[in-house]
């Protein structure tokens, strides 16, 4: 399917999408503060987790469904062929590599989809607490 925007307009639109401090990430940060959980932001670890606890060795990633390819093959929401599919496949491979690198040095990984963070914040907190509890 052809893009409805010309290249210049599409480039401008895509350049506005942030990689850090996204709305779901800020929402989770607020929930973590409210719950009394103190995790550092954007730790210098493989994959640069959105939140991390060095004490418990837990890394938390807030992933956008589109950018990280959640169920795009199953749900039939495949991005246009070419550039976007290749990019998303590279993102998925990079996520897998980063997970392996973190596991290798003893870290637990929690990957949360952006819709879970916005729609089910208590579920997200339970997953993070569980990962922290398992490391004690």
Q: Which residue has the higher pLDDT, 27 or 66?
A: 27
What residue spans define the domains of the chain? 20-134
Neighbours of 111 (CB within 10 A): 17
3-state SS, residue 35: coil
Poorest-confidence range of 25-29, 75-79, 93-97?
Answer: 75-79
The mean predicted confidence, pLDDT, of the chain is: 85
**Quick one: which H or E segment has residue 126?**
helix 121-134
- Quick one: which of 21, 24, 63, 11 has its CA closest to 42? 21
Query: If you classify domain 20-134 with CATH, what class do you get?
Result: alpha beta
Radius of gyration of the chain (CA): 16
Provide the whole-model pTM.
0.80
């Amino acid at each position: 399917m052809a893009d409805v925007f010309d290249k210049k307009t599409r480039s401008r639109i895509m350049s506005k999408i942030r990689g850090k401090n996204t709305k779901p990430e800020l929402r989770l940060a607020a929930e973590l503060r409210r719950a009394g959980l103190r995790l550092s932001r954007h730790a210098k670890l493989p994959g640069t987790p959105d939140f991390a606890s060095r004490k418990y060795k837990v890394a938390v990633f807030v992933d956008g469904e589109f950018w990280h390819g959640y169920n795009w093959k199953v749900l039939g929401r495949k991005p246009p062929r070419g550039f976007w599919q290749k990019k998303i496949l590279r993102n998925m491979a990079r996520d897998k590599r980063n997970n392996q690198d973190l596991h290798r040095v003893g870290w637990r990984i929690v990957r949360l989809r952006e819709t879970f963070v916005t729609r089910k914040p208590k579920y997200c907190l339970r997953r993070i607490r569980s990962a922290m509890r398992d490391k004690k």
